[in-house]
Amino acid sequence: MRKLSICSALSILLAGSCAPGSSMAQDASTPILDRGEGVWTSSVVADGLDYPWDIVRYGERLILTEKAGSVVIIEGEKVQRSALETTDPLRTEGGAGLLGIALAPDFADSGRAFFYYSYSSGLEPANRVVAARFDGNTWRETAVLVDAIPGHRLYNGGRIAIGPEGHLYVTTGWTENYERPQDLKSLAGKVLRLTLDGGVPEDNPFRGSFVYSYGHRNPQGLAWSADGELFVAEHGQAALDEINLIAPGANYGWPAISGDETLEGMQTPFLHSGRSTWAPSGIAFAGNELLVTALQGRGLYVLDRQNRTLQPVVSLGERVRHVLPVGDDLLLITTNRSPRGQGPSKDRLVRLSAQR
């Protein structure tokens, strides 16, 4: 087991403090949008992480994936790191590897979870969604739910999450192929929807197909509002990153349109970054507010829905991969090495608390 430096992860779950002089979060009724950047204090929960990609919570456990193939559990001051045992070796070059995780609703009894990972199918890069089981010591793949999702060194999508109705949603990348995102027979450049057993839900928009929405470039964020609205964040081409409000069966235009461009039958973004770039990754709702992490933007943002803009919450000076709200605090994971780079990523799990 690799040793991480821990600043009492349990205190996060109990809304306590790791840093001398830090304070409890301010009144939670104050919207994050109205708090400003200067009210937040940060403390390191864990460092020594290597390209963490996703984070979920179960009780007092924080569970993270690392791209190279490890699943890391932090509970109090105890840290457990183990490899996900897969039927095929992981493909980990660039931005490929062990990416998304979601826990089954019966995880407490079954130890069942779902993962998205990259591998090689013959000579072609590919991704798959699998079910796995945790026995308290080992994570082991038990079933392949979706196979042969086209892969790429950089554009693999990779976020998975269980929706309000209990189905599993999956984001996939366009693989730098200009035909696949618009091809309903391809799983690339899509948001997929499947049952937890790997079946096609009867009410999916295209009969017999996992495809829920299409025309996406490299979506890496999935989140639902309290009203059940599905938002997706995705990387644009150099700029024009997007936040999309998803409707079943809708076409989000890539690569035919982007930004404010329009074509009949295609959806324009809920908002986009224009000529600048956020490089958005994980997103999550804190109450009624959508939080967006940014790799190129090196921080955390909140959606100003009325004005359709993103406003900064905090700048860490690090590439922020995902956010997990816990009580009044926000947990952030960083992936500081670009997928185009080499060497260790030197990443952290950070807690943000708002001052009174």
Per DSSP, the three-state class of 270 is coil
Task: Collect all residues with Cβ–Cβ distance below 8 Å to 251 and sequence separation of at least 6.
Answer: 182, 213, 214, 215, 265, 266, 267
CATH 3.40.630.30 is the classification of domain 9-14+46-271: no
The pLDDT value recorded for residue 69 is 97
Q: Give domain limits for the chain.
A: 9-14+46-271
Neighbours of 306 (CB within 10 A): 7
For residue 212, the model assigns a pLDDT of 99
Q: Write b or e for each residue in 104-127: b if 16 or more Cβ atoms lie within 10 A of its Cβ, otherwise e.
A: beebeeebbbbbbbbbebeeebbb
Quote the DSSP letter at residue 308.
T
Q: What is the pLDDT along the chain (356 residues), one digit of tens a residue?
A: 444 444 433 333 333 333 322 223 345 578 999 998 889 999 999 999 999 999 999 999 999 999 999 999 999 888 899 999 999 999 999 999 999 999 999 999 999 999 999 999 888 999 999 999 999 999 999 999 999 999 999 999 999 999 999 999 999 999 999 999 999 999 999 999 999 999 999 999 999 999 999 999 999 999 999 999 999 999 999 899 999 999 999 999 999 999 999 999 999 999 999 999 999 999 999 999 999 999 999 999 999 999 999 999 999 999 999 999 999 999 999 999 999 888 788 899 999 998 86
* Token code pair at residue 34: 């109205």
pTM value? 0.92
Report pLDDT for 8. Answer: 38
Local structure of residue 6 (DSSP, 8 states): B
At 54, the amino acid letter reads D
Look at residue 76 in the predicted model and tell me its pLDDT.
Answer: 80
What is the predicted pLDDT for the residue at 27? 54
